[in-house]
């Protein structure tokens, strides 16, 4: 009889704890929904941009913002909003991701992407893929339909095909403007500082009505890269990081330096362990640590209160944010 009473008392306690946790996750909060994107940082000068080209970039950035925000506005999750926004940028030849990816030394497109869920620290990534139409979707599939975090090359492509993702011929990604860019870089291979080859990448961070953060990043990497080079974009902690305790981050820039500094996670660490505010943490990494090591680039970051920053130490960064339907803001150049 004594044991029966203990069991009766203990079981409801466990049930209550489990149910409370589930309800807390699903509860809609009253805070802001926010979505921030970037389309790459680098030597982006007004003097090199025609009015038509500038307008095209603004339109595509706004399209990505509106598409991602529509997911949030209709009660969708931050992860889904991140994927929706990044797909728009991957499908545009304007950006170094997906359709507009830069070319390797051998004239190939090798794509990388990653995604992370701030609510549970789940993450997924693909690297060096050549036939997956939307690498960000493949990264999500790795996160949700496998026991792994990162898959690369042919294995990642086989996995994506088995999961029913859109598979295309490698020629789908070819862009004549990127090919000319590759030829220019090869011709000037002796140049000590060829910024044209270093930058690109697209990314998104989002905050949904449940208070959950997510981040994603996708890229074609570095123009004229060799030997299967992989940058920071598919590396969790370097190119992408999300944690509901602090922030969601997507990076863009010279990947080798972002890997060495573990940039995205460092922003989180400065907030969690150093007590810094979001912008101060981002500035510390991008404006001090990164150039101090010899690198450059930028990032977008968003915290659970809806505060965000778009920080970069280059001439420009394609970027934008939206916190209200129909009021997306997009930018290209520095101050």
Catalytic site positions: 201
Is residue 320 a contact partner of residue 328, using CB atoms and an 8 Å limit?
yes
| DSSP per-residue letters across 166-199 | -B--GGGG--HHHHHHHHHHHHTTT-S--GGGT-
241 beta partners: 249
Cα 222 to Cα 235: distance, rounded to the nearest angstrom: 15
Whole-Å CA distances, 187 to 105, 116, 254: 12, 39, 21
Q: How many Cβ atoms sit within 10 Å of the Cβ of residue 244? A: 20
- Give Dmax (Cα) for the chain: 87
Cα 99 to Cα 325: distance, rounded to the nearest angstrom: 28
Phi/psi at 109 (nearest 5 deg)? Answer: -105, 120
Triad 289, 231, 335: Cα angle to 5°: 50
In the three-class reduction of DSSP (H, G, I as helix; E, B as strand; rest coil), residue 279 is classed as helix
Cα 86 to Cα 113: distance, rounded to the nearest angstrom: 10
Q: Which residue has the tokens 């939206």?
A: 322
Cα 112 to Cα 135: distance, rounded to the nearest angstrom: 7
Give the orientation angle of helix 153-162 with respect to helix 135-145, to 10 degrees: 80
Q: Tokens for 314? A: 């280059």
Phi/psi at 120 (nearest 5 deg)? Answer: -140, 5
Is residue 213 a contact partner of residue 244, using CB atoms and an 8 Å limit?
yes
């Amino acid at each position: 009889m004594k044991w029966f009473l203990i069991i009766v008392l203990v079981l409801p306690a466990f049930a209550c704890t489990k149910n409370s946790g589930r309800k807390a996750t699903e509860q809609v909060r009253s805070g802001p929904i926010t979505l921030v994107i970037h389309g790459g940082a680098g030597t982006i000068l007004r003097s090199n941009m025609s009015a038509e080209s500038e307008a095209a970039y603004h339109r595509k950035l706004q399209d990505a913002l509106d598409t991602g925000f529509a997911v949030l506005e209709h009660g969708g999750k931050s992860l889904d909003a991140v994927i929706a926004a990044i797909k728009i940028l991957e499908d545009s030849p304007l950006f170094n991701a997906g359709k507009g990816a830069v070319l390797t030394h051998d004239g190939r497109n090798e794509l990388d992407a990653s995604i992370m869920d701030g609510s549970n620290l789940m993450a997924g990534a693909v690297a060096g893929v050549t036939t997956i139409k939307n690498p960000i979707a493949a990264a999500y599939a790795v996160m949700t339909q496998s026991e792994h975090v990162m898959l690369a090359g042919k294995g990642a492509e086989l996995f994506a095909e088995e999961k029913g993702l859109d598979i295309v011929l490698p020629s789908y990604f070819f862009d004549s403007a990127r090919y000319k860019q590759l030829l220019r870089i090869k011709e000037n291979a002796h140049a000590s500082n060829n910024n044209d080859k270093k930058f690109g990448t697209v990314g998104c961070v989002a905050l949904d009505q449940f208070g959950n953060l997510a981040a994603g990043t996708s890229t074609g990497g570095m123009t004229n890269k060799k030997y299967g080079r992989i940058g920071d974009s598919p590396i969790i902690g370097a190119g992408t990081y999300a944690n509901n305790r602090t922030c969601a981050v997507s990076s863009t820039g010279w990947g080798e330096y972002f890997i060495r500094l573990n940039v995205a996670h460092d922003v989180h660490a400065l907030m969690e362990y150093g007590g810094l505010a979001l912008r101060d943490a981002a500035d510390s990494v991008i404006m001090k640590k990164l150039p101090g090591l010899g690198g450059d680039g930028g990032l977008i970051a968003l915290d659970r209160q809806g505060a965000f920053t778009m920080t970069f130490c280059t001439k420009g960064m394609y970027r934008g944010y939206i916190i209200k339907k129909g009021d997306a803001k997009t930018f290209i150049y520095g101050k």
